[in-house]
Chain A
Amino acid sequence: EDKVVQSPLSLVVHEGDTVTLNCSYEVTNFRSLLWYKQEKKAPTFLFMLTSSGIEKKSGRLSSILDKKELFSILNITATQTGDSAVYLCALNAGGTSYGKLTFGQGTILTVHP
């Protein structure tokens, strides 16, 4: 059974800090790993990773995948209060539809002013 484990489960930092969120996974047939930010109800797409070692970057956020060690990290630099959210890691396994994702428990990030 495919599995996604995120750590830490919660994190409290101050504005300006840099954070690293972790996602480890087990899967029989890997297709992609995705990161989402969830504020209130709707998850917002951040990154989709398919290849090892290639960093994806968007502003202060970046993410990388290690398919050998079966993990991914999401980095946020110079955090702001608007970064406070739940960050979800999700796995799409080959052989299933592109919409069938296995989600981790999420990391609750709180950024204090």
Chain B
Amino acid sequence: SAVISQKPSRDICQRGTSLTIQCQVDSQVTMMFWYRQQPGQSLTLIATANQGSEATYESGFVIDKFPISRPNLTFSTLTVSNMSPEDSSIYLCSVVVGVNSPLHFGNGTRLTVT
């Protein structure tokens, strides 16, 4: 499995501002994903970060709110834009190293919006 580093680990932000979360993997991976876990809820996929092209968003998530970059095979960012308290969640970067391999998660970013 890969070592996946996310930062920041946690942040407290004011409503209306934006936060960019970084995800660094120690090896090249084709497939990279961003998940969200709202308080008391389970994990939900936000989008697939595609290298060299626009991210693929799941139903209910849009690029204007959650812009994603993937400049190479080891790095991605997720921005949470124009934040509201409802965006308070754990955001998780995750990767699949190879076909038929399980999904592995980074250490997560706990975001609180006040």
- Please state if A99 and B103 are interface contacts (CB–CB under 8 Å): yes
Q: How far is the CA of A101 from the CA of B103 in the complex (A)?
A: 9
Query: Contact: A41 with B92, CB < 8 Å?
Result: yes
Total contacting residues, chain A, CB less than 8 A: 22
- On chain A, the residues within 8 Å of B102 by CB distance are 32, 34, 45, 48
Contact between A42 and B43 (Cβ–Cβ < 8 Å)? Answer: no
Number of A-B contacts (CB under 8 A): 64
B1 at the interface (CB under 8 A from A): yes
Q: How many residues of B contact A (CB 8 A)?
A: 28
Determine how close the nearest CB of chain A comes to the CB of B78; give it in whole angstroms: 14
Residues of B within 8 A of A34 (CB): 102-103
Chain A residues whose C-beta falls within 8 Å of the C-beta of B90 in the assembled complex? 41
| B101:A98 contact, CB within 8 angstroms | yes
Q: Interface on B for A, CB 8 Å cutoff?
A: 1, 31-33, 41-45, 48, 58, 90, 92, 94-96, 99-110
